[in-house]
Amino acid sequence: MTVCDPTERTTTTSTTPGEGPSNGHGDSPRATPAADAYREKLLEASGVLTAAARLVRPRLQRTDDGDWIDDLMGATDQADWAELVTLALAGAAANFGGVEAILAGRSGSWEAEGIRQLLHSTVGPAENALWEHRTEPLEITLHVDELLA
């Protein structure tokens, strides 16, 4: 596991690269094609989220007109990682078919409940705003023969 201290910009490696996290329950999943795919996606997601945490944004400065613009000459701030993660989860839920559809794997777990609450705080409990977060095209299959019959 690699640990990065954002204030020091130092990195410490404590395990072999690529070993990555376990399944979160203190044990590693058995080596099966499904477990390997799960682990691969977990490592990929961890890498993407870590890279997102390292993003910076320029500080804002007020103009004489009262507008806000990027202060390109000033220091930078850490980007809003929580917003990015929340919007990414909303996009994934919208692409997958809804909050309950994406949580169906273990819908009663404490992890699912936390994600459910986070998504409902973002898109509303009725999921009215969920579909505006969709990032994949919507596919509609029409059976023309059945429609014309």
Contact yes or no for 115/85 (Cβ under 8 A):
no
Q: What is the pLDDT of residues 91-110, one digit of tens each?
A: 999 999 999 999 999 999 99
The strand pairing partners of 57, in sequence order, are 77
List the structure tokens of 35: 């477990």
**Amino acid in the structure at residue 5:** D
Whole-prediction pTM value? 0.69
- Interval 22-32 mean pLDDT: 61
Rounded-to-integer distance, Cα 74 and Cα 62, Å? 13
Backbone angles phi, psi at 109, to 5 degrees: -75, 160
Report pLDDT digits (tens) over 70-81. 888 878 889 999
Q: What angle do CA 85, 91, 92 make, to 5 degrees?
A: 90
Distance in angstroms between the alpha carbons of the first and the last residue of the chain: 60
